[in-house]
Amino acid sequence: MKAMILAAGIGSRLRPLTDTRPKALIEINGVTLLERTISGLKSFGIGEIIINVHHFPELITGFLKQKNYFDIRIEISAEPRLLDTGGGLRRAGWFFDDDQPFLLHNVDVLTNLDYRELYDELARKSALAVLAVRQRDTSRYFLFDGQNRLGGWQNVQNNEKIIACAEDKPLIPLSFMGIQVLSPEIFNHMPRQSRFSMVDVYLQAAKAGQPVYGLDCGAYNWLDVGKPESLKKAQDFIGY
């Protein structure tokens, strides 16, 4: 199985820590975020990983060499300029040449999520994508119908709302966990420009009637460590 770790971000919210290193190499209890993510994927059975890099890329490649690439196949997708999540995935698309579903994982989330549940849901629904979501207070939400099919997106701070379903139906807001399993068909639904977000890909696909689903994974431990206050919480995070 294959996966991509999204690690190209500058990590501006974590400054000054990220003034001298990439976010992926910030340590929690002596172990970097990148190592924690790779170890979690490897323990699940994923043996091939590609990582996109931009901010201090040489530090990430040096770290991987020092760790002997964790004894699995690890490739690097360098981004001279940031391409956002969608552009980054498309640039790394050559890696996913086996026509199999794959996992896309942010480097700055800690979790004990059972990834198999996402793969199983993708197969059950014959879905284009399955997004790990949960109930959580945040500023931006994906909106799902009663069958957990993607129906829109909302930013509660500026009241922006995008509806991606044809029918007028009640939609449930759930926050994205930064983890998703994708069908290789996802590459056929990407725009032509080089820089774009996967959020836009999912919404456009949903508008076109493509099956994009959410899976409520609120029963699992999860923490976004993209902010300084979260780093303190991470020290005592259950399971880490």
> At residue 239, does pLDDT exceed 90?
no
* Spatial distance between the Cα atoms of 63 and 57, rounded to a whole number of angstroms: 10
Q: How many domains does the chain have?
A: 1
Question: DSSP characters for 95-107?
Answer: G--S---EEEEET
Residue 179 sits in a domain whose CATH number is 3.90.550.10
Per-residue model confidence (pLDDT) at position 240: 45
Q: Cα–Cα distances in Å, from 93 out to 4, 52, 185?
A: 10, 11, 11
> Could you tell me if residue 231 is inside a domain?
no
Task: Identify whether 73 is part of a domain.
Answer: yes
The helix (H) or strand (E) run that includes residue 199 is helix 198-207
> Per-residue pLDDT tens for 127-175?
999 999 999 989 999 999 999 999 999 999 898 999 998 777 899 999 9
Contact 240, 225 (CB under 8 A): no
The two structure tokens encoding residue 51: 């990582």
Tell me the pLDDT tens digit for each residue of 26-65.
Answer: 988 889 999 999 999 999 999 999 999 999 999 999 999 9
Provide the whole-model pTM: 0.94
3-state helix, strand, coil in the chain (%, to 5): 35, 30, 40
Residue 238 lies in a domain: no
For range 178-197, the mean pLDDT? 96
Q: What is the pLDDT of residue 196?
A: 97
pLDDT interval class at 229 (50, 70, 90)? confident
Q: Is 239 within a domain? A: no
Average pLDDT, the chain: 93
- Residue 116 domain-assigned (yes or no): yes
Query: Does a structural domain hold residue 233?
Result: no
Query: What is the secondary structure of 108-150 as a DSSP string?
Result: TEEE---THHHHHHHHHHT-SEEEEEE----SEEEEE-TTSBE
